[in-house]
Amino acid sequence: MKHGWLNWTIIAALVLGTLFGELVLYAGAEAIGPDHWTRVAGEYVLIRPLKMLIIPLILFSVVSGVCSIGDPSRLGLVGGATVFYYLATMAIAVTIGATLVTLIQPGDLDAETAANLTGQAEAQYQGSSAATRIEAANEGDKDSLGGAWKNILDQLIPTSAFGEMSKGNPLSVIVVSLLLGIALAMGGDKAKPARDFFTSMFDTLMRIVGWVIMLTPIGVFFLMAWTVGSIGLVNLTGPLALYVGTVLTGLLTHGLIVLPVILFIFGRTNPFQYLVQVRRALMTAFATDSSSATMPVTLTETVESGGCSKKASNFVIPLGATVNMDGTALYEAVATVFLFQVFGIDLSMGDLVIVVITATLAAVGAAGIPGAGLVTMVIVIGAVNTSLAGRGVEPLPLYAIGIILGIDRIVDMCRTTVNVWGDAVGAKIMSRIAPDEEYYLKDSAGS
């Protein structure tokens, strides 16, 4: 979408929101709560309108994307390549995370600091809203590796199409939409009216997305103010600074080196030019902290500014917003190993391999919403604990998560940006396998 002024106003909103949050809201050194008016305003202005569009957009974009690819063998190729891309990049991200946290050892603190952190962890954990979600996730995951698979399978094989839509379960809606799209693509002339209906509805929905995007600067301002006011930038300096630094180093390495190289090789694209083209999606991801809520923006920007094919984006972006989470995978590895380090529990090479595998699965299973990665982390902790129990080592208590709870929102904003960047890179690469006519035109005009 054009509107160059929007980019500048979003950047201004990011900066002004941060200043407002730090100077006005956090001035009393007392963090503001989750019901503060800035958060409520951000919810109403941006988050709720975006969320309202997610499920209908998945349905219409995936069905029309699959229909437009049409030919089942081409569909198989695009689907296979997309899933391979998601898993490969997440595996690379998680390996970067596990390597960095092992090398940097951010949890190797002096005895007093570690005792302080572990002492406060329980109180912070018990009083938090995340604790209920974490306990619930843990209940269902007695056998954690199995739990990770079950979490994914439950979503992949839904019991009721409309039920899943009303529950707002993106992965299940994608499965239903894929089946519907394939059936329509194979339906010949008889199915043409239905195919046209889905394509036309998709274009219509995108018009509404365009209206919501106009609200981004206002929403971003409120959300930034709330985040900064509820955490306070000073808290990023204490004993957790090295942990935050490790996650950020990993995210920067993945986002600015690994993904660009992949895009350059497989997408034949100038990665940094493309990054600038899709920046509106990345800034929205940063401020909303949710790849699902950002999905409508990503879909618009990859096609209209980034020159991706509609065929590829319609399919790759909704799926990616739900399952492709490079930033989350990397973070899960760093955070888990960090917590074990703070509690002085040594992990073997085998334990690290377990972290790498389960963190990838946990990231796939995490929803694209704020704090989802924090909750699915119990899968990783549970799996490592099971392995430790086999060696007679004390497990990590779940309340350890309390240590990183307070600053998680900031870390989450950064990993969500990388999650969305990974989706955008995927869409660009897949555009070469599934080009639109317009894509060819744009491409040859540009070269």
- Residues of the shown chain interacting with ligand ASP in the complex, contacts defined by CB under 6 A: 289-291, 325, 328, 366, 368-373, 412, 415-416, 419
| Cβ proximity to ligand ASP, 66 vs 92, nearer residue | 92
Q: How far is the CB of 2 from ligand ASP (least distance, A)?
A: 27
What is the C-alpha separation between 372 and 222, in angstroms, rounded? Answer: 21
CA angle in degrees (0–180, nearest 5) for 366-227-250: 55
Q: How far is the CB of 35 from ligand ASP (least distance, A)?
A: 20
Q: How far is the CB of 417 from ligand ASP (least distance, A)?
A: 9
| Cβ proximity to ligand ASP, 271 vs 370, nearer residue | 370
Q: How far is the CB of 3 from ligand ASP (least distance, A)?
A: 25
Tokens 């600067």 appear where? 217
Q: How far is the CB of 111 from ligand ASP (least distance, A)?
A: 31
Closest-approach residue to ligand ASP (CB)? 373
| Cβ proximity to ligand ASP, 128 vs 416, nearer residue | 416
| Cβ proximity to ligand ASP, 147 vs 320, nearer residue | 320
Residue type, 1: M
Q: Are 317 and 302 in contact (CB under 8 A)?
A: yes
Q: How far is the CB of 329 from ligand ASP (least distance, A)?
A: 9
CA angle in degrees (0–180, nearest 5) for 377-379-385: 105
| Cβ proximity to ligand ASP, 182 vs 372, nearer residue | 372
Looking at the chain, how many residues does it have?
Answer: 447
For 340-379, the DSSP string reads HHHTT----HHHHHHHHHHHHHHHHHS-SSTTHHHHHHHH
Q: How far is the CB of 185 from ligand ASP (least distance, A)?
A: 30
Burial 84-96 (b: 16+ CB within 10 A, else e): ebbeebbbbbbbb
Rg (CA), the chain: 22
Q: Which of 382, 363, 407, 417 has its CA nearest to residue 130?
A: 407
Report helix angle 72-104 to 326-342, nearest 10: 30
Q: Report residue 84 as tokens.
A: 């391979």
Q: How far is the CB of 370 from ligand ASP (least distance, A)?
A: 5
- Centroid of chain to Cα 118: 28
| Cβ proximity to ligand ASP, 219 vs 373, nearer residue | 373
Q: Report residue 14 as tokens.
A: 């990011």
**Counting beta carbons within 10 angstroms of the beta carbon of residue 71, is it exposed (0 to 12), middle (13 to 18) or buried (19 or more)?**
exposed
Q: Report residue 185 as tokens.
A: 């693509």
| Cβ proximity to ligand ASP, 180 vs 364, nearer residue | 364
| Cβ proximity to ligand ASP, 330 vs 398, nearer residue | 330
